[in-house]
A = this chain, B = another copy of it.
Amino acid sequence: MDRENHANNGEDERDLENEGLRDGKEIERNWSGRSEKNMTFREPLLVKRVNTTSQIAIVGSNVCPIESLDYEIVENELFKQDWRSRKKIQIFQYILLKWAFALIIGLGTGLVGFFNNIAVENIAGYKLLLTTDLMSKQRYFAAFAAFAGCNVLLATAAGALCALIAPAAAGSGIPEVKAYLNGIDAYSILAPSTLFVKIFGSILGVSAGFVVGKEGPMVHTGACIASILGQGGSRRYHLTWKWLRYFKNDRDRRDLITCGAAAGVAAAFRAPVGGVLFALEEAASCFTDAAMWLTPRELYWLTISQYLVEFMMHNVAKCSSLENVFTTAVVAIVLRAFIEYCTTGKCGLFGQGGLIMYDVSSAQATYSGADILAVILLGVIGGLLGSLYNFLIDKVLRIYSIINERGASFKILLVITIALLTSCCAFGLPWLAECQACPTDLSVSCPTVGESGNYESFQCSSGYYNDLASLFLNTNDDAIRNLFSTSTKKEFNISSLFIFFGAIYFLGIITYGIAIPSGLFIPVILAGACYGRLVGRLFESISQLDAGLYALLGAASFLGGTMRMTVSLCVILLELTNDLLLLPLVMLVLLVSKTVADSFNKGVYDQIVKLKGLPYMEAHAEPYMRQLVARDVVTGPLIMFSGIEKVGTIVHALTTTGHNGFPVIDEPPFTESAELCGIVLRSHLLVLLKGKNFLRERVISGEDILQKYAAFDFAKPGSGKGIKLEDIDFDDEELEMYIDLHPITNASPYTVVETMSLAKAAILFRQLGLRHMCVVPKSQGRPPIVGILTRHDFMPEHILGLYPHVKPHKRF
């Protein structure tokens, strides 16, 4: 029986059914319908259904080809042989190396975090000191020139680094890391150049006064550091070591990268516990919609929860938690050591600015009916503003991607434009505010002397301060601290808060997407805290809550409206205020803002991932998937190999397709009937082809191969490396020879029957972190495999392209 016909036999029936669906008729795929269909004449129709979903995506601000990761353990003969022969010493080496890597990741990320903070505080501090100095001398134009000049210079440097060296480093990096952990790989996501640009670009960008955070980039940085360690060394730089081979697979690499992301969180927020929590969340494979409860004292913990939830959504495999604890503890200890060193004044302007904690627990949280009204209002505002924010970010990103496509110079120009705009806002808008008299009962100096504080003098005379300048002419961290300050009800004017909110809201939207490393969290907290305080001011006559708590609730509502988390924020704020009685308020504001925002659009990170074209597998199945079964989305024609296959056939298949997995079928005379042997991977085939242990006859030669190769020869090389088919030359004689694929065939592939509901298949695929899922027939007399499902076959574009009459949101 011909192999090609096998595949088609399976497909005829499918196509008949598909026609029905394509015509817009609703298919009754029930027992009776099916039984009748099975009796109809099978037309030997040969429709090749191709999956046309894009194999490229935007990483940072660049378009890259993407691949899927493979978390499945390839249980072939070589693996089993290796597993049986593995000695205790090797297990010991592996564990030792894992701990050593955890230490290195912790140390590295801690150092980078410290360096980042100290650099930002010093660069931005110098810039701000220069400006205020000139301002105090009433040389206003010189001050603006200095301020804007510094900003544009720093921004240009950041933009140039990013555009010329590593476009993948643009943006927050969270969507990319999220995608990686979901199983999507692109070389540039975690490349060394990305790391370099992420570190220095982030420092320059934050120092340049952009409305961006450094937390997202920090997470990306941690992941990059871990990824470099997991590459298994480099032959080019003679950095090879036998032990490193243990990490040459996607499972262990993913563990390391989870570790690195956790270290990044820890470094960004000085939150070792949060970092580990984050990493542990990674370990929760099938975490679906839930969120996580934290242990914060500072509002920055909010940020962690963000990452937590973000990352929680796409966990695939087990992660070894103990190393993560270790890593983040190391980060914390490194940071702490440096900070203690710095508080002695040896680090320049760096003081408490970088690694701060917010504490509003001093404020009393008793509340009345009016407060509840205010909180509901906050929630509604947060929901509306949040969904509008997401909508606008999406539009802006689309426009920017057109600009960014035109080349590096356009990218840099865009960065400079935004930098100028930001500078004008930051320097120009404070002029709109009136000078206010300093309160008399202060423990700090007013107006502020030195780099940071609540009371900037700006153009005001002694004894007066400009509240808007206190927000604009500070680092973003200090601005947040100012907004959260309790017992300072009247510090900020309503008009000032209004102006600041408007500026930050729109600057935040237009800044994300330019070619610099830019976190999204700080803009959201800033804007949220601002309108929270604003609402607090409006209700101050009838409300008992402190303005700082209002700022907190505002930040929560905006976070809820953009990021759409509820549970985690709830507890964080509970912990933050240390008062259980505030819990209902926080729950309320989050529920309201999320509910309001959800009726408009999706969360901001979901939108960005979709916009970037990353084939992200959701944890849940879409409603329309319930109408379809697994075989309905299988694409073809299916290319299969025999257990002992002709070299030419393999080379031809590898050349003409981009497939990464091929089913292997044992056929007569080696077996009584065709039977499914398993799946071979492209990379394994290439190793075997390169070795050229071919046979002249179609005979079993697996033992030979088992002796000639070890499992590590088939280990997955570092990203961007690996054997390429073009590099292997075959002469005509070789192409006519045979090769035994049994030793490298994964004999335990995951399978579903063809009638498995697509929704169930999608959840299974996602839950197990698969790259290939075999679809097997439900009846006898058919080839033993119907097709292979990959990530791309579950994408809505593909499914809705095949069945345009399916209504994406209808449930019938």
Contact = CB atoms under 8 A, between A and B. Distances in A.
A434 interface: no
Interface residues of A, number: 102
B768 A753 contact: no
Interface string A775-793: 0111111111000000000
Contacts of A767: 285-286, 767-768
Contacts of A776: 751, 753, 776
A682 B138 CA distance: 88
Interface string A63-94: 00000000001010100100110100000000
Nearest to A86: B811
Contacts of A38: 670-672
Interface in A563-612: 566-567, 570-571, 574-575, 580-581, 583-584, 587, 591
Contacts of A333: 580, 583-584
Interface string A25-55: 0000011100100110000000000000000
Contacts of A83: 626, 811-812
A336 B292 contact: no
A49 B304 CA distance: 54
A312 to B, nearest CB: 9
A272 interface: yes
Given A84-B812, A294-B295, A700-B32, A273 B575 contact: yes
Interface in A630-682: 643, 666, 670-678
A76 B531 CA distance: 51
Interface in A324-355: 325-326, 329, 332-333, 336
Contact of A276 (B293, B674, B677, B757): B293
Contacts of A580: 272, 332-333, 336
A756 B760 contact: no
A180 B276 CA distance: 29
A764 interface: yes
Interface in A244-283: 272-273, 276-277, 280, 283
A671 B779 contact: yes
A291 interface: yes
Given A321-B290, A580-B336, A811-B84, A35 B671 contact: yes
A453 interface: no
B280 A292 contact: yes
A522 interface: no
B742 A748 contact: no
B571 A778 contact: no
A676 B567 contact: no
A163 to B, nearest CB: 40
Contacts of A80: 30, 626
Contacts of A336: 580-581
B283 A290 contact: yes
Interface of A: 30-32, 35, 38-39, 73, 75, 77, 80, 83-84, 86, 272-273, 276-277, 280, 283-296, 318-322, 325-326, 329, 332-333, 336, 566-567, 570-571, 574-575, 580-581, 583-584, 587, 591, 626, 629, 643, 666, 670-678, 700, 702-703, 706, 740, 742-743, 745, 747-753, 755-757, 760, 764, 767-768, 774, 776-784, 811-812
21 contacts: A31-B742, A38-B672, A272-B580, A276-B567, A280-B290, A285-B287, A288-B318, A289-B318, A290-B321, A293-B295, A322-B591, A326-B587, A333-B584, A672-B779, A673-B779, A673-B781, A748-B755, A750-B756, A750-B760, A767-B767, A780-B782
